[in-house]
Homo-oligomer: A and B are copies of this chain.
Amino acid sequence: MITRKEQKEFLDEAANYLKKANIVVTQKEIDSIEIADYGLSELKVHGLAILVYVNTDRVCAKELIMLPTQTCPQHRHPPVGPPHAETDEPGKEETFRCRWGKVWLYEEGDATPNPKCKAPAGSEAYYTVWNEIELNPGEQYTLLSNRWHWFQSGPEGAVVSEFSTKSRDELDEFTDPNTKRETVIKD
């Protein structure tokens, strides 16, 4: 749960970050940006602003905007079948491309010694994959489907493009059972 004021402040910042990243968007797109707190009610710790360019049955493209040292909680995109997809298909595959700032992505694989990020305080138990990929502007990484992953922005925040198969956020699986994909706004 976040307040309308928190939502508005992040929306304004997200528009500023897109300007700093020199990404041209329409006013309609600005107005469509989603602020997500993952149901954890600590927006500056766990959170993300999401601008969806396109999300058809086959292709999705987005910009993800993160404030300084903000975390997208550990999750994965499981295989999908009817009624969510016409036929069985693997979970969402996504390529993250850093456009501005810096982001560290963690996924399954050998744990990186001395990782650059810490799990958010109090949620350590839910951060179990530590294979670190550092992404600076112009760098990208392709994450295959159904792999646990999470990411955290650097000290200035980040703008990250995501190129993927269809987004079905409601089907994401999170490690932390307190996590909810829907953000409740408190008036």
Please tell me if the beta carbons of A29 and B59 are within 8 angstroms of each other in the complex. Answer: no
Give how many A residues have a beta carbon under 8 Å from the other chain's beta carbons.
29
Please tell me if the beta carbons of A138 and B59 are within 8 angstroms of each other in the complex. Answer: no
* Total identical chains: 2
Judge whether A84 is part of the interface by a CB distance below 8 angstroms: no
The residue that A99 contacts in the complex, of B24, B54, B139, B164, with Cβ under 8 A, is B24
Judge whether A36 is part of the interface by a CB distance below 8 angstroms: no
Please tell me if the beta carbons of B139 and A59 are within 8 angstroms of each other in the complex. Answer: no
Please tell me if the beta carbons of A26 and B95 are within 8 angstroms of each other in the complex. Answer: no
The residue that A93 contacts in the complex, of B58, B93, B94, B99, with Cβ under 8 A, is B58
Please tell me if the beta carbons of B163 and A54 are within 8 angstroms of each other in the complex. Answer: yes
Q: Which 6 A-B pairs have the closest CB atoms?
A: A22-B22, A61-B163, A24-B138, A24-B137, A54-B95, A26-B138
